[in-house]
Chains A and B, each alone.
Chain A
């Protein structure tokens, strides 16, 4: 699952040779397909009641209907917008704070201790406070996503900058780089791989934060769609919502991986 926090830090495995790929890819699909068939069988025979979990066919059918009548697209747009702005705010905060504390001694002295203390706090636990501060409209949802994004970005950017090889900085000094050139050509590029790891984690927590935030009094969005469906025992719609969440997570993960491959071209493969 791409939405878990812990599981996102893994780097893509080295490409498997084409021949084994041809062979293993269908094999890997045997058990998932079997599971879906089993699920369908359980539903058709009445072992699995539609009140607990709708059958795959019903889910697919509902997905079609929800797309056709525009409900899914609208909910999707609302949720995406929340993540987008939450990510923008949290990303900006995480990057600015990470840069200041990574690049300046005073910045680190003043910023790093409180951030390191706050990071131990599970940010989803902040919901009650955010509701008190921001009410139950869009703001607490954006704030939750922003908090989920800011921390992993800050931590990884800061760590990446700190990990810069002092030997490279030293060489750059003797070779006549200005201070700005040292930052631009030595320190920041060497922080990029770690920052990209932070970016992937940030996307993971962003979706997680969204799902949780949309449980608070949402009147639009995927969370609303799911909660509404629950009240009418529409497990098919709930599953459709969950699948969309998962697809969103997968998509951003793939995007970051693509970005990694482009930016980290210099790494030995």
Chain B
């Protein structure tokens, strides 16, 4: 079966600064992969390349299927109603019906005719997710989509994303710097540091996962990020 994402020897430099340094990465269809790393280590750059937004690279990055993306900021068009934000670019005559269905999945049907600037941060991010999913992507790229949300909203979003993933089964590449988030959601965790993948963890815990069940593995992932939990505590 073809891979959802296959990257070989991907190198990206901005001027003299090498941001991605020979990345190899394969993602199976329907697999949930989390990309962990400190700020500035090249996570967004990798996602932008996979989304086709940056083609000035060395090496290979193949994404054969359709790609969709949600960013840390919802990036909705403030001058288009919520439902239009979802249906625009789909090129489907039944755009509104499709948008309403997608809004139902993120429980925002009531806001279909609202202006985006009237939404809360969490609501806007849910619209952004609906907009990404309505394209039925083979690969869903999520660049810290919960980073700007408060802790409670973030918890709700974790459940929502897992739900949607189970229902639609796209391959997901989730960028985050929250270890717990990665452990709760991902089949596989990649640790990125200075443009290289320095560690890979398979998470075989049964779903739905609870916080307590991930504690043990958390310590090992944190160690790969250079954080010694015993010492920190």
Q: Main secondary structure on chain A at its contact with chain B?
A: helix
Tell me the minimal C-beta distance from A196 to chain B in angstroms: 13
Partner of B89, one of A170, A181, A190, A266: A181
Which residue of chain A has its CB nearest to the CB of B48? A170
Partner of B71, one of A171, A177, A185, A186: A171
Which residue of chain A has its CB nearest to the CB of B114? A266
The reply to whether A185 and B69 contact each other, CB–CB distance below 8 Å, is no
Task: Kindly state the separation between the CA atoms of A172 and B79 in the bound complex, as whole angstroms.
Answer: 14
Tell me the minimal C-beta distance from A74 to chain B in angstroms: 43
Supposing A265-B115, A267-B117, A268-B117 touch, asked if A176 and B91 sit within 8 A by C-beta, the answer is: yes
Q: How large is the interface on B (under 10, 10 to 19, 20 to 34, 35 or more residues)?
A: 20 to 34
* B166: Cβ under 8 A from any A Cβ: no
> For residues 227 through 269 of chain A, which have their beta carbon under 8 Å from a beta carbon of chain B?
265-268
The reply to whether A176 and B135 contact each other, CB–CB distance below 8 Å, is yes
The reply to whether B135 and A175 contact each other, CB–CB distance below 8 Å, is yes
Interface string of A168-185 (1 = CB under 8 A from B): 101111111110010001
Interface string of A149-184 (1 = CB under 8 A from B): 000000000000000010110111111111001000
Interface set of B (CB-CB < 8 Å, partner A): 51-53, 67-69, 71, 73, 75, 77-80, 88-91, 115-118, 131-132, 135
Interface set of A (CB-CB < 8 Å, partner B): 165, 167-168, 170-178, 181, 185-186, 189-190, 192, 265-268
Closest 8 CB pairs of A and B: A171-B75, A176-B89, A189-B79, A177-B89, A268-B117, A266-B115, A175-B89, A266-B79
In addition to A190-B79, A266-B78, 9 A-B residue pairs with Cβ atoms within 8 Å of each other are A167-B73, A171-B69, A175-B68, A176-B90, A177-B88, A181-B89, A192-B79, A266-B80, A266-B116
What are 27 A-B residue pairs whose CB atoms fall within 8 Å in the complex?
A: A167-B73, A167-B75, A168-B75, A170-B75, A171-B69, A171-B71, A172-B77, A172-B89, A173-B53, A174-B51, A174-B52, A174-B69, A175-B89, A175-B131, A176-B89, A176-B135, A177-B88, A177-B89, A178-B89, A181-B88, A185-B80, A186-B77, A265-B115, A266-B78, A266-B115, A267-B117, A268-B118
